[in-house]
Structure 1
Amino acid sequence: MKRETFKAYKDKNTHIEAYQLEGIVQPFPNHFHEHYTIGFIQRGHCLVSCKNQEYTFSSGDIILLNPFDNHTCMPKGDENFLYRGLIIRPEVMEELTLKVTGQNDPPGFKKTMVRDEELYYYLRNIFHMIINGFSEIEKEESLFFLMNILIAKYSQSFEKCLPKCQEEVERACDFINCHYTEHISLEQICQYATLSKSTLLRAFIKSKGITPYRYLITIRINNAKKLLEQGVLPVDVAFKTGFSDQSHFTNYFTTFIGVSPGTYRDIVTSCTN
């Protein structure tokens, strides 16, 4: 039987998080993150759908995700799957971009799937440095070269990568972001966005790639992760993020993240380099 593992490491020098998924066989539903994701497949294969395009990733392939890029992922085949990635918060990405270009205009990745031996080398190198507690200067040097490649070859201004959204859809998102801890209905969202239900659903899916409810659940999960990283107990996190009960929260969290809230909390609070 394949053993499923999730590991996470938070680096206090670079403020970048490294994480690893191994042996995961469950599919991850359509969702998004509020951070940049730069990952690589070290072993195995997976199917990824991002912004309504499908990709088959295999060993050596790199995935580049901007904040709010909706995507799904499903491991494929019998080979033991091993994925490693970096999580870079937008504010950290701005600082890195400033160091490389002299401007703090964050990049927007033009491609979701790339194969680049030099980029792959630096990704693996930085991952190894973070999990093994290398010195700050070593990590900063590798990050500098990594950012040089990403900016020069695979990015443009992040603003140019954002889809053209109707003002009403953004109002709907603002409402969800402000009230995600509450019990809210589609009717309330429509009233705030001043759109009918059918119009909002069509416009929202076209703009964001997911439904308003999936957007709401994703916002709740993302905020739940932040609370768990602070050491808050899962039962309290469920209440603070708007889930009806801990069971409901645990089911969604495990589906989206691949491990239970308690396991995630234990991992991220014990692994800081």
Structure 2
Amino acid sequence: MVAQPEVSAWRSRVPGVVEVFHAHFTEYAYPMHVHEAWTLLIVDDGAVRYDLDRHEHGTPHDTVSLLPPHVPHNGSPVTTHGFRKRVVYLDGTHLGEDLIGSAVDGPDLRDPVLRLRVGQLHTALGHPGDELEAESRLTLIAERLRTHLRPSAPAATPRDSPTLARTPRDSPTLARTLRELLDEHLTQGIGLDEAARLVHAHPAHLVRAFSGAYGIAPHQYLMSRRVERARRLLLEGRPPGEVASATGFYDQSHLTRHFKKFVGVTPGRYARSRQA
């Protein structure tokens, strides 16, 4: 019996992300079609054969494929087992039309670091409330993609700014300013784009400056501060659902996942421990 397709698709609140699409197909083959958005594709199981601009390509599991907008392509499984893929569709926020030609010439990128980061991006996109992490990871992914597609030309992109060329002396000041912003917006949160606009820095440079100064990514810092505040409220006897809302988590399950990551136990068990 032929396995039924498995499909999951959703919109994300992360700027630049048009759609997130996960699928498992065994026999289905895509006809020639185009997308208005960039297609950032990884295959977790099996492989896909596709034609792009009348040239045949393939996507083994260690490859990241970037298909440009407006260029026709198709897709079909290589084996009878089909393929399992994860796709992020991106608008022109991170990648400009000037990169389309390079992407047509070389859409499949063998880069283990890039492959790992794209997988981490999908994990973050699958958890509501982790938008800052997803935004940070996407910023670094886009920077690496531009390096692949334009290795010798540091020309401006839609998100580039002169502040990208800041000297290392600027990094501690940027890191401290971002930390202050994260502290000020601990509950409501702040997007990476908004923070970069407020401090007049490129988002990728801002993430690198913060991580270099404090040894922790901005999203990790924000979540650790929220968990710290949640601990205090739990010890005051407030229920986990109320604590989740009061500390900026999307919901109680979001609090539980991060609380267990940082503390080692669930919020409920932590709260019960105070009675002992």
Larger Rg: 2
Higher RCO structure (Cα 8 Å, ≥6 apart): 1
TM-score, length-scaled by structure 2: 0.49
TM-score, length-scaled by structure 1: 0.49
